[in-house]
Amino acid sequence: FSGPFTDVVTTNLKLRNPSDRKVCFKVKTTAPRRYCVRPNSGVIDPGSSVIVSVMLQPFDYDPNEKSKHKFMVQTIYAPPNISDMEAVWKEAKPDELMDSKLRCVFEMPNENDKLNDIDASKPAPVLNTSKQDGPMPKPHSVSLNDTETRKLVEECKRLQAEIMKLTDENRHLRVTLALRDNGSNSLPSLLVVIAAIFIGFFLGKFIL
């Protein structure tokens, strides 16, 4: 029986009569409250077969609990006149009975099988269905990132060179302004000296 066991789980049992006589059968179980068997008894014609449905009722499955449930299929050659099936089994001698025993096995689907079923039910991703319209492959996107990185590095170097050039020009301008300031400060004194010379010259000329 394959789980999950939250609902009725049905397993079919095929009984075949390989003999040339009619055979009566009966299906028994060690846990009659847990199973529903249809049909649980009947007659199989020579060379024919019968499908028996065994329905397991819902229960709380414990994987650590080992199943002890068993089934037994009893068979006996049918008498010439079958009028009462219960009488046939009651009057049957032990050496006339044939039986086959079956042990029940409970199995839960594996987690991997569940994942495979889920993946199979999901639609295929766009990348697999249409390579042209899908996103660019990963290796190409990595090369683009490398190219952008190199461009950024070169841009940073260029900006640093411009900053250094502007710093030098600013320093040169400061020196030039300082010299101009010093020259403008000495200009009035120079003019005073020239004015004094001219005044002295004119005074001396008038006095003479």
Instruction: Report pLDDT digits (tens) over 5-14.
Output: 999 999 999 9
Token pair belonging to 13:
């049992």
And the tokens for 171?
Answer: 């320093």
Residue 63 has what pLDDT? 83
Give this prediction's pTM: 0.51
For the stretch 99-137, pLDDT in tens is 999 999 998 877 445 445 545 455 544 444 444 444 554
Domains, the chain:
9-103 (2.60.40.10)
Question: CA angle, 95 as apex, 93 and 101 as ends, to 5°?
Answer: 105
What would the pLDDT profile of 158-198 be if each residue is shown by its tens digit? 777 777 777 777 777 776 666 666 555 555 555 555 665 65
Terminal-residue alpha carbon distance, the chain: 146
At a CB cut-off of 8 Å and minimum separation 6, what does 76 contact? 23, 24, 88, 89, 92, 96, 97, 98
Asked if 48 contacts 19 with a C-beta cutoff of 8 angstroms, the reply is no
Residues contacting residue 167 through CB under 8 Å, at least 6 positions apart: none
* CB distance 69 to 59 below 8 Å: no
